Structure 1
Amino acid sequence: MARDPRALLWDAKASGEAIERFLAGKAFDDYLADEVLRAAVERQFEILGEALSQLDKQAPDVVSSLPGAAKAIAFRNVLIHGYARVDDAIVWQAAAGPLPELLRAIRARLAEKDGEG
């Protein structure tokens, strides 16, 4: 049974917000020095990308309207299937660069849906 597309958006939002919380006040050197932090951030990126991947199967128009969603899905695939060659700098850059914009778009989409009743 397919999940409600709105629930998938909420999952993506929750994972993105977890990444932001985990990295708040941290510098790249802090990230490199903390194996648990790196694992937690990578896991949340995996969940974020999987939620968007599932959403893309059900509502591709929604995913195509989210900036960076396709890259988040591709990034999830790299983390899952290419785990042996994950570059910590790329994970850090993804959290600092595309993630905030993607989260803004997801929040806006959810707020838009809330307004529809």
Structure 2
Amino acid sequence: AIENEILTKYNNQKKVLYLSSEEFGRMVPEIIKQNINDIEKFKDSFNQYDVLLVDDIQFLANRSKTNEIFFHIFNSFVNKQKQIVITSDKHPDDLYGFEERNVSRFQSGLSVGIDSPDFETSLTILKE
């Protein structure tokens, strides 16, 4: 939904990348196995995008090298004033298994809770 909204709002002029944390978590070890230059190329490959959407960031907990690489990608987006949207089933304050610097980055953005829709809203969604 967020990706569609961004593409609509900007007339498909923004490049958006959606990644599940599981997908990102699988990619990183494969890159690490290759060589250090591939890690840099991997991080640089994100530069082509204007918006990064990462779903279920909590699944990257306790994966230090994966978190380190994500930290650098996150910083690159922030430094270039690009947008990052991260979802989690927990508030950033309740994320464990991440370095403090990662949690600090997550806390620096806007955190919005999304409640489950009530019954009538659920029916309306299903009808559409």
TM over 0.5: no
- Compare CA radii of gyration and give the structure with the larger one: 2
TM-score by length of structure 1 reads: 0.27
TM-score by length of structure 2 reads: 0.26
Higher strand share: 2
Larger RCO (alpha carbons 8 Å, 6+ apart): 1
Higher helix share: 1
